[in-house]
Chains A and B, each alone.
Chain A
Amino acid sequence: MKPQAFDYARPDNAEEAIALLADSGEDARILAGGQSLMAVLNLRLAQPSVLIDISRVPDLNFIRNDGKALAIGAAATQGSVEWRDALAAEVPLLAQAFPHISHFQIRNRGTVCGSIAHADPSAELPLVLLALGGEVVLRSRRGRRTVAAQDFFQGMLMTARAADELVEEARYPLARPGTGYAFEEFSGRHGDFAVCAVAAAVDAGGIRLAVGGVADRPRLATFPRLAGSDLDAALNDFAWELGAKDDHHASAKFRRQLVRHLGRTAIDKAST
């Protein structure tokens, strides 16, 4: 028995979940897949007083293609998105990113919205959401609001979510014709946290490149359709802008090199 004691609530539906969240105060935590939260609890890095388990709430367990985006509900597991037959056609960047996201056994339980709410700077799902210009739907007793990925991720494990808000839905824009997508990652061991991960979307108008694992949050750059040394120079500027730091996984210098190299690789792949 590792975690500190907590009250456990398992609501029936989303409305009950947000009511519990509003009533429980800042010490409450939403438990969805628990693939980040349970580790944090087992290591006693957090001691919430209440866990609100939404993993079995039927009206939060959905994946909907609404013609514009793939809308993924708070209780939908990463595995249920990953094993979707149409995923590579719907959101190719997600399909490319999934094998890099931790491991099969973790994806089977972890949720997409949980990873977004956790906002680890090296996590792939926030990175892909940012690269595609996706959105996060937040719901509380006060109502719903939709926040662009660009505004949602605010720093290391920090987001625009207020304490009484539930990340109800993540909206990944569907593939657009004429746009190429590519995902590249470097990590110490397959499935480990990314030392650097990049996601690129390239169309006739320009290049969107999002980088994770380097700054305190996933960061996005947009370039015109540069090539050759112009592109290398733009990538080098971006790599320096990210303010990479030395840590025990990699040096800042190595991270900048990864941004340049993986960025170039992803842009080239997405351009063909």
Chain B
Amino acid sequence: MKRIFYAKNEVVRIGLVLNGQQRSATCEPRTLLSDFLRQDLGATGTHVGCEHGVCGACTVKIDGVAQRACMTLAVQVEGREIETVEGLNRGPHCDQSGLSDLQQAFRRNHALQCGFCTAGILMSCADYLQRKPDPSETEVREMLSGHLCRCTGYTNIVKAVLETAAERLGRPYGAALAPDQPGHAGTGAAEQAGLVDA
């Protein structure tokens, strides 16, 4: 990599790999990755909410790692691999339906309503499950704490994530929803779902 200097208001051409495709567009150094994706590359699947890292709507994967696109400059990701919700239907966890197993689990569990936060949540979950294939409910909730969803109350999102993990491990889903251990704040999600004895 060689040293780079872009003057303010200079219009620079930024190339990156978006969902496996080489793409490029021009922008200013101050352009946020979230705006670059939506406005310059036309990839509007990524949503923009708070624009200061709180709501999680703009989360994308940069070189495989879930990060906030609104807290990243487009010039910072020159030459890197970006994955957005539009690219989730590629890779090993997809079938002919055009949706990944994670997206299908979200649909089955009614884990979205208005859908504004969903693209970001899916990208976080995709990264997280790859690194942590068998998370506990508490761990999933910790990971989801980086996202705001005002429709679902999160319970169905947690179920969808745990169900996806269980499916990938070839395990019946109910087993993933054992009650939390003493010392953890149990949510009762398992009981509500009728999956464990009350």
* Residues of A bordering B, CB below 8 Å: 1-12, 16, 31, 34-35, 38-39, 41-43, 49, 51, 53, 55-56, 79, 83, 99, 102-106, 108-109, 189-191
Q: Can you report 22 residue pairs joining A to B where beta carbons are below 8 Å apart? A: A1-B35, A5-B9, A5-B30, A6-B29, A7-B6, A7-B7, A10-B1, A31-B73, A34-B73, A38-B73, A51-B29, A102-B146, A104-B66, A104-B143, A104-B146, A105-B59, A106-B146, A108-B67, A109-B67, A109-B72, A190-B145, A191-B146
Instruction: Report whether A8 and B142 are in contact in the complex, using a CB–CB cutoff of 8 Å.
Output: no
Most buried by B among A11, A12, A42: A42
Measured in the bound complex, the distance between the Cα atoms of B59 and A53 in whole Å is 21
Q: Answer whether residue B76 sits at the interface, using C-beta atoms and an 8 A cutoff.
A: yes
Contact residues in B for A189 (Cβ distance below 8 Å): 145
Shortest distance in angstroms between A190's beta carbon and chain B's nearest beta carbon? 4
Contact residues in B for A83 (Cβ distance below 8 Å): 131
Contact of A2 among B32, B127, B128, B145 (CB under 8 A): B32
Q: Answer whether residue B71 sits at the interface, using C-beta atoms and an 8 A cutoff.
A: yes
Instruction: Report whether B72 and A103 are in contact in the complex, using a CB–CB cutoff of 8 Å.
Output: no
Contact of B128 among A5, A8, A42, A104 (CB under 8 A): A104
Shortest distance in angstroms between B7's beta carbon and chain A's nearest beta carbon? 5
Q: Answer whether residue B8 sits at the interface, using C-beta atoms and an 8 A cutoff.
A: yes
Instruction: Report whether A2 and B51 are in contact in the complex, using a CB–CB cutoff of 8 Å.
Output: yes
Contact residues in A for B35 (Cβ distance below 8 Å): 1
Instruction: Report whether A38 and B59 are in contact in the complex, using a CB–CB cutoff of 8 Å.
Output: no
Contact of B65 among A5, A11, A108 (CB under 8 A): A108
Instruction: Report whether B30 and A4 are in contact in the complex, using a CB–CB cutoff of 8 Å.
Output: yes
Contact residues in B for A5 (Cβ distance below 8 Å): 8-9, 28-30
Most buried by A among B35, B70, B73, B128: B73
Measured in the bound complex, the distance between the Cα atoms of B71 and A31 in whole Å is 11
Q: Answer whether residue B4 sits at the interface, using C-beta atoms and an 8 A cutoff.
A: yes
Interface 1/0 per residue, B91-128 and A, CB below 8 Å? 00000000000000000000000000000000010011
Interface 1/0 per residue, B62-96 and A, CB below 8 Å? 10011110111101100000000000000000000
Contact residues in B for A108 (Cβ distance below 8 Å): 65-67, 127
Contact residues in B for A42 (Cβ distance below 8 Å): 32, 51-52, 70-71
Measured in the bound complex, the distance between the Cα atoms of B2 and A12 in whole Å is 6
Number of A-B contacts (CB under 8 A): 126
Q: Which residue of chain B has the shortest Cβ distance to A103 in the bound complex?
A: B146
Q: Answer whether residue B26 sits at the interface, using C-beta atoms and an 8 A cutoff.
A: no
Assuming the contacts A6-B29, A7-B29, asked whether A39 and B146 have C-beta atoms less than 8 A apart, the reply is no
Q: Answer whether residue B3 sits at the interface, using C-beta atoms and an 8 A cutoff.
A: yes
Most buried by A among B1, B2, B56: B1
Assuming the contacts A5-B28, A42-B51, asked whether A191 and B145 have C-beta atoms less than 8 A apart, the reply is yes
Instruction: Report whether B67 and A7 are in contact in the complex, using a CB–CB cutoff of 8 Å.
Output: no
Instruction: Report whether B30 and A1 are in contact in the complex, using a CB–CB cutoff of 8 Å.
Output: yes
Contact of B28 among A1, A12, A43 (CB under 8 A): A1
Contact residues in B for A4 (Cβ distance below 8 Å): 30
Instruction: Report whether A8 and B72 are in contact in the complex, using a CB–CB cutoff of 8 Å.
Output: no
Q: Answer whether residue B53 sits at the interface, using C-beta atoms and an 8 A cutoff.
A: yes
Assuming the contacts A38-B71, A109-B72, A191-B145, asked whether A6 and B66 have C-beta atoms less than 8 A apart, the reply is no
Q: Which residue of chain A has the shortest Cβ distance to B127 in the bound complex?
A: A108
Measured in the bound complex, the distance between the Cα atoms of B30 and A104 in whole Å is 25
Measured in the bound complex, the distance between the Cα atoms of B35 and A34 in whole Å is 17
Contact of B3 among A10, A105, A190 (CB under 8 A): A10
Contact residues in A for B62 (Cβ distance below 8 Å): 109
Q: Which residue of chain A has the shortest Cβ distance to B31 in the bound complex?
A: A1
Shortest distance in angstroms between B127's beta carbon and chain A's nearest beta carbon? 8
Assuming the contacts A103-B146, A109-B71, asked whether A3 and B30 have C-beta atoms less than 8 A apart, the reply is yes
Shortest distance in angstroms between B56's beta carbon and chain A's nearest beta carbon? 6
Instruction: Report whether A6 and B30 are in contact in the complex, using a CB–CB cutoff of 8 Å.
Output: yes
Q: Which residue of chain B has the shortest Cβ distance to A43 in the bound complex?
A: B52
Contact residues in B for A102 (Cβ distance below 8 Å): 146
Assuming the contacts A1-B32, A104-B66, A106-B53, asked whether A8 and B145 have C-beta atoms less than 8 A apart, the reply is no
Shortest distance in angstroms between A196's beta carbon and chain B's nearest beta carbon? 19
Contact residues in A for B3 (Cβ distance below 8 Å): 9-12, 16
Measured in the bound complex, the distance between the Cα atoms of B36 and A129 in whole Å is 37
Interface 1/0 per residue, B31-64 and A, CB below 8 Å? 1100100000000000000011100100100100
Measured in the bound complex, the distance between the Cα atoms of B76 and A10 in whole Å is 8
